[in-house]
Chain A
């Protein structure tokens, strides 16, 4: 079955540490996205990529970095510069078309310890 796989499901980060969240899709989608969701809040766009080797900042990119070396993969690194990283992180993908929305992964919950 095609879909998006995010790993790990839970991640704990120490102060000052960088961590990387994995996102892999086998849907052959061109575009991929990272969102942050805080409790009771909506979805805030961190980064997005429409093609391999190209990506753009979203609304809250500070303290995060991404790469898109392969069509299937769009890892997100939460750097030590992100002062409040505890949140639920969602990866999504889409393909161009009039009626295509997003397919989301199941999320990674990051907690600072």
Chain B
């Protein structure tokens, strides 16, 4: 019940495409859903986060869509660029805990 399932494992798109990464969870106590971006040899960095009281959040070219009834959330990258090539992790946290539960990661490659 603590798992966050992330798909796909890898994704290749052309420059300007809109990659979509999906995550699903079971624990209804989760109330904070961040996404992290990790470049090779670096630590993950917080990209964008959402709480379940909103269905969508945009920050620049990055958008989180949240479907509370389906217990799913996804990351969309508009007008993707080669510099967006990285590994993306979704995560979730229950309000009573400080510990994040991470998805397994998606390796995104944006071709020039």
B residues in contact with A31, CB < 8 Å = 98-99
Q: A41-B105, A42-B89, A42-B103 are in contact. Are A104 and B98 (CB under 8 A)?
A: no
Q: Is the CB of A106 within 8 A of B99?
A: no
Q: A40-B107, A101-B49, A101-B91 are in contact. Are A107 and B100 (CB under 8 A)?
A: no
Known: A88-B41, A101-B49. 11 other contacts (CB 8 A): A6-B43, A33-B99, A41-B105, A42-B89, A45-B99, A96-B98, A101-B34, A102-B44, A103-B46, A105-B43, A106-B42
Chain B residues 29-63 with CB under 8 Å of chain A are 31-32, 34, 36, 41-46, 49, 51
B72 in the interface (beta carbon within 8 A): no
B residues in contact with A45, CB < 8 Å = 99
A87 in the interface (beta carbon within 8 A): no
Q: Is the CB of A43 within 8 A of B32?
A: no
Q: Jot down 14 A-B pairs with beta carbons below 8 A, ordered by A.
A: A42-B105, A43-B105, A90-B43, A90-B44, A92-B43, A101-B32, A101-B34, A101-B36, A101-B91, A101-B100, A104-B44, A105-B43, A107-B41, A107-B42
Using an 8 Å CB-CB cutoff, how does the interface string of B84-112 with A read, 1 for contact, 0 for none? 00000101010100111011110100000
B residues in contact with A90, CB < 8 Å = 43-44
In the bound assembly, the distance between CA atoms of A101 and B89 in angstroms comes to 13
In the bound assembly, the distance between CA atoms of A35 and B103 in angstroms comes to 13
Q: Is the CB of A50 within 8 A of B98?
A: yes
CB closest residue in chain A, given B43 = A104
Q: How far is the CB of A105 from chain B (nearest CB, A)?
A: 5
Chain A residues 1-58 with CB under 8 Å of chain B are 4, 6, 30-31, 33, 40-43, 45, 48, 50
Chain A residues 47-104 with CB under 8 Å of chain B are 48, 50, 88, 90, 92, 94, 96, 98-99, 101-104
Q: A99-B51, A101-B49 are in contact. Are A41 and B100 (CB under 8 A)?
A: no
The list of the 5 closest CB pairs from A to B, nearest first, reads A104-B43, A42-B104, A101-B34, A43-B102, A31-B98
Q: Is the CB of A98 within 8 A of B95?
A: yes
A residues in contact with B95, CB < 8 Å = 98
